Structure 1
Amino acid sequence: IRFLFTCKSWMDLIGSSSFVSTHLHRNVTKHAHVSLLCLHHQSFECQVDPDDPYVGQELQWSLFCDETFVLCSKLSHPLGSTEQYYGIYGSSNGLVCISDEILNFDSPIYIWNPSVRKLRTPPLSTNINIKFSHVALQFGFHPGVNDYKVVRMLCVHKDNAFAVEVYSLSTDSWKMVEEHPLWLKCTWQNHRGTFYNGVAYHIIEKFPLFSIMSFDSGSEKFKEFIAPDAISCWSRLYIEVYKDQICLLYYLRLFHCEEEGMSQIEFWVLQEKRW
């Protein structure tokens, strides 16, 4: 909010941290100014062939109204047309975390506010000095510590090396998490993930079992939740947030029905550490 002139009492009110927190809380609880962030083909009616190697060059990130699904605005990379293709790894309160489509341990990370066209570039981490085979990146707001966090997980499958780094927007610095639970010190594969209320969730496969690993970016604590026994294939498994709860969506194989291309989905909700 900007004013040319205002009284001292208003200035104190607007400038206080409690005013900012209250305003953000009001927007979140009332779902004010909520938009859908979607990756789509530039031609909405185009039939996309997933096997086409050039289809990715025609995809576009855009914001849509969450009620009418009307296109609000198209998002271009803040650094210009030379950085047209990028991945989005989380959004919260109007901030978007972007980086390379294919992540490496030294991929640049940007925290971007498209509305006001401002960009924050976290410093390069000094903790990583080897090349990891898998990099997972997530971003969001942690209400418990009133801070925005970037969580980067890196692993080398062949020797079970594992590392977690947390970036704090308030301090503009990275921190390496040193302590890992024993159940993570094994051969496992990291798959899809999501971020909610400051906690990063990942689907991990410890053959033949599937688990959900959670990492609280504030307390830096790990937890494990064993996935339902019915889940047997990670490629059809997704983890999302629905009505403030962590959910698993498991796509079953196509079944016979009148409408071609329809599939059945099992929906699992995490409640009190159980599905």
Structure 2
Amino acid sequence: MEFKEDEILQKRGKSTEIQSICSEASVFSMPNLPEELITEIMLRLPVKSLLQFRSVSKSWLSLISTSHFVKTHLLLSASNKDYIHHGVISKPSNTSRGVKDCSVSSLLYDSVPESFELDNPGKNPNAFPLLVGSVNGLICLAINLFYGFDCFIIWNPSIKKYKKLPYEEHIVPYFTFGFAYDEFEDDYKIVGIFPIYNYASLCRVEVKIYSLKSDSWKRVKNYKGAELLGDSAKFVNGKFHWLDKHWNIISMDLAGEKWEEVDQPCCFKGCGFLKLGVFESDLSVFCNYAWTHVDVWVMKEYGVKESWTKMFTVKSPEDSGGRIFYPIILMSNEGEILLKFGSRFVKYNPKDDSIRYLDVTKLAPCLEVQIYVKSLVCPFY
């Protein structure tokens, strides 16, 4: 059987075509294909198909279960520029108990994209999940109850596996978090920033880090800065990044647990307020100007103040109604920018400065969004 891989990979529907070829070959002629080719085909299949193909034979189960296969599949899926293996998970509102999922390729290419309710492990009549972050296909949720914080959950929605983290008794009602993968220690970590108040006055800020590998929390004692804003951290260049209440960018090195202030251009101080983001692996800042427009800046060379570059200026629609732009989710192959304006998804085209609202079926107005890649990663059992 002749398999023209390059031709298939050039098409947007390549995953479906490869899946069809793989299914047919498994029935008729797969035993005659070289093992290397079988592996190359499987590495480009979606997670849903791979979960089904684990039942075909012991050899396929063994192949799909190896750490090398899981890591290579993750790398190929994450680097696919058509985003066919990516999803956007969203939390509709502060009072919503569920989370929604929408395919990124659907948002980019379908005329009527559709979202789906995810059966998240933190769903509870009295619980309200918060999106902490996403890395390597894992979603971190902070579960709030009516009467206070309950727990964290690290969850891979693609394979329906999750871990409820040990309860941290000193967690307070007001907090901000970050979630990342520590490549040096091969470990997933959560950092939590907890301001401690006494009669409405800030007494101190406690910082704690959870390690999935050790399944435990520890305290970081060297933070002496101002209170941080409530947005989840942005992870760039091995560091978490937050904004403090003075609009300074504060970073914490995950490996050394050291704190620094990131230099920023003077023009940042003149805008209404800032939002941090990640644009094509670089730290980005959204400078919002009184609901009239937003400037998108990117730090091209990390740690170099002079490398801050203004990439776009996006004008707010005339009917903005006080809504603001949130950091870029991604850029498509065609150069269109997918981002959130207020509670809705929009596509911005820098070529003609146009904005198009995306009406997503079954999606209520959303407050929080996280992009994730669908993967086989399962660091907990």
Q: TM-score with structure 1 length normalisation?
A: 0.72
Q: Structure 1, residues 74-119: CA drift from partner, whole Å, max 9, x if none?
A: 1244244414532111122332111235899954111122233322
* Distance 1:3-1:100 versus aligned 2 partners, 3 A rule: closer
* Distance (whole Å) between structure 1 residues aligned to residue 129 and residue 271 of structure 2: 24
- Alignment equivalent of 1:110, drawn from 153, 160, 164: 153
Secondary structure at 1:190 match in 2: coil
Quote the RMSD (CA, aligned, Å).
Answer: 3.3
In structure 1, the residue matched to 2:32 is: none
**5+ residue gaps in structure 1?**
41-54, 255-262
Q: Which has the larger radius of gyration?
A: 2
In structure 1, the residue matched to 2:295 is: 266
In structure 1, the residue matched to 2:234 is: 195
Greater fraction helix: 2
Matched, 1:37 2:89: yes
- Alignment equivalent of 1:204, drawn from 244, 253, 258: 244
Report the alpha carbon displacement of residue 214 of structure 1 after superposing the two structures with TM. 1.3
Aligned residues: 240
* Distance (whole Å) between structure 2 residues aligned to residue 244 and residue 176 of structure 1: 28
* Distance (whole Å) between structure 2 residues aligned to residue 120 and residue 233 of structure 1: 44
Aligned amino acid, residue 58 of structure 2: T
**5+ residue gaps in structure 2?**
1-50, 108-112, 309-381
In structure 1, the residue matched to 2:188 is: 148
In structure 2, the residue matched to 1:94 is: 137
Flag the structure with more relative contact order, 1 or 2, with Cα contacts below 8 A and sequence separation at least 6.
2
* Distance (whole Å) between structure 1 residues aligned to residue 224 and residue 96 of structure 2: 41
Matches within 5 A, 1:13-162: 14-30=64-80, 31=83, 33-40=85-92, 56-57=94-95, 61-69=99-107, 70-83=113-126, 85-100=128-143, 107-125=150-168, 128=170, 132=172, 134-156=174-196, 158=201, 160-162=203-205
Matched, 1:168 2:205: no
8 Å CA contact 2:144–2:151 kept in 1: the answer is no
